[in-house]
Amino acid sequence: MKTNLSLRQIGTLFRVDCPDQDIRKRVSDSFHSVTAAFEKVIVPQHLGIEHLTREMALSHQTAYTKAFYGDNICLIWDGTDFYFDRSDDHEL
């Protein structure tokens, strides 16, 4: 949701129209509003365990999990972490 840009720079990019000292507060409030909306609407419908029924979860089981666990729901969590180098240069 956010880059390495400062809140003031983001406010400038989005042409936030308010006094210079209030830009950071306005952008920060906007980020908090978007985060709250995601947590309220997007997360319950698309993430977490409660957005799937048992039948839907079973339909996503692989041959491997069916062979070892039968009709039980199996979760395999992959903790792989990829590092992507980012440029520190944000000049347009």
How far apart CA 20 and CA 46 sit, in angstroms, is 38
How far apart CA 69 and CA 15 sit, in angstroms, is 55
Q: Which two tokens stand for residue 34?
A: 């978007």
Residue with tokens 């983001």, as numbered in its chain: 10
| pLDDT value at residue 87 | 64
Q: Which two tokens stand for residue 11?
A: 């406010």
| pLDDT value at residue 88 | 66
What's the pTM value of the predicted model, to 2 decimals? Answer: 0.49
| pLDDT value at residue 56 | 87
CA 70 to chain centre: 32
Q: Which two tokens stand for residue 74?
A: 């199996």
Q: What is the pLDDT along the chain (92 residues), one digit of tens a residue?
A: 557 788 888 888 888 888 877 888 888 888 899 899 988 988 888 877 778 888 888 888 888 888 988 888 887 777 777 666 666 666 55
